[in-house]
Amino acid sequence: MSSIRKYESKDKENLRKICIETSGLSTETEKDREFLYLMYNDYYSEIEPENVFVAVNDNDEAVGYILCAEDFDKYLAVFKKSYLPGIKKLGFRYYTMAIGEIGVHRLFSKKYKAHLHIDILSECQGKGTGTALMNELKAHLKNKGINSLMLSCGMGNKKAINFYKKNNFKLHRNIMGSCIMISEF
Ligand SMILES: CC(C)(COP(=O)(O)OP(=O)(O)OC[C@H]1O[C@@H](n2cnc3c(N)ncnc32)[C@H](O)[C@@H]1OP(=O)(O)O)[C@@H](O)C(=O)NCCC(=O)NCCS
């Protein structure tokens, strides 16, 4: 298993690479990739780096990450101001994907304020790295007085859904092709 540490600014490009390599979405065009950075990566590493943990290999290079926004209202305000305009410029299709995803999170954000994203390079999966990252984030949030986490996951991503269930997430709701999963700890 890789070791876990806090995010450092030198990890930013590796995080972007992991985001692209593990995305189930299209990554063919520059616009596709820019969308993924803006939607699933840059907010977390730039605005809440203290809530990001990485799994690193023997060369201290990130091979996986867990990203968290601890308060949805803060996330939404900053995301709308600094990241959504960039997504809008990419085109209507990207904009509607972003609005859909935010809208789904927003439905549950009054009760579950913190949300996460987790991705591990394929060659490093199935070795306990995801579980170690999840445990690290939960312990970190608990220290800050935060006791729940929400995420959305594609309904077809059975491997990830099983992983979340093993990590004490419960299926809360199926909505617009996504599973909303919640963990209280
Ligand atoms: C989903 C994901 C984050 C899980 O991370 P992971 O590092 O593979 O997870 P773990 O290794 O902790 O647990 C997964 C499996 O490995 C097993 N495992 C745990 N520790 C292990 C160890 N030391 N050695 C071998 N296997 C181990 C677990 O029991 C689990 O088994 P399962 O296949 O029966 O479920 C990862 O697979 C991933 O990044 N997938 C692609 C991107 C993605 O789908 N992200 C989520 C989007 S919502």
Closest CA to 22 of 93, 107, 117: 117
Reported residue count of the chain is: 185
The Cα-based distances of 90 to 30, 38, 39, 86, 141 in angstroms read 10, 11, 12, 7, 34
The answer to whether 71 touches 111, Cβ cutoff 8 Å, is no
Identify the pLDDT of residue 1.
66
pLDDT in tens, 167-177: 999 999 999 88
pLDDT in tens, 85-99: 999 999 999 999 999
Q: Distance from the CA of 10 to the center of ligand 1, in angstroms?
A: 25
Which pLDDT band, with edges at 50, 70 and 90, does 2 fall under? confident
Which amino acid is it at 3? Answer: S
Q: Which atom of ligand 1 is nearest to the CA of 129?
A: 7
Global pTM? 0.95
The answer to whether 63 touches 15, Cβ cutoff 8 Å, is no
Domains and CATH numbers, the chain: 3-66+73-109+117-145 (3.40.630.30)
How much is the average pLDDT of 114-140?
98
**CA separation for the pair 59, 67 (Å, rounded):** 21
Ligand 1 atom 30, closest CA: 126
Which pLDDT band, with edges at 50, 70 and 90, does 24 fall under? confident
Ligand 1 and 150: CB distance under 6 A: no
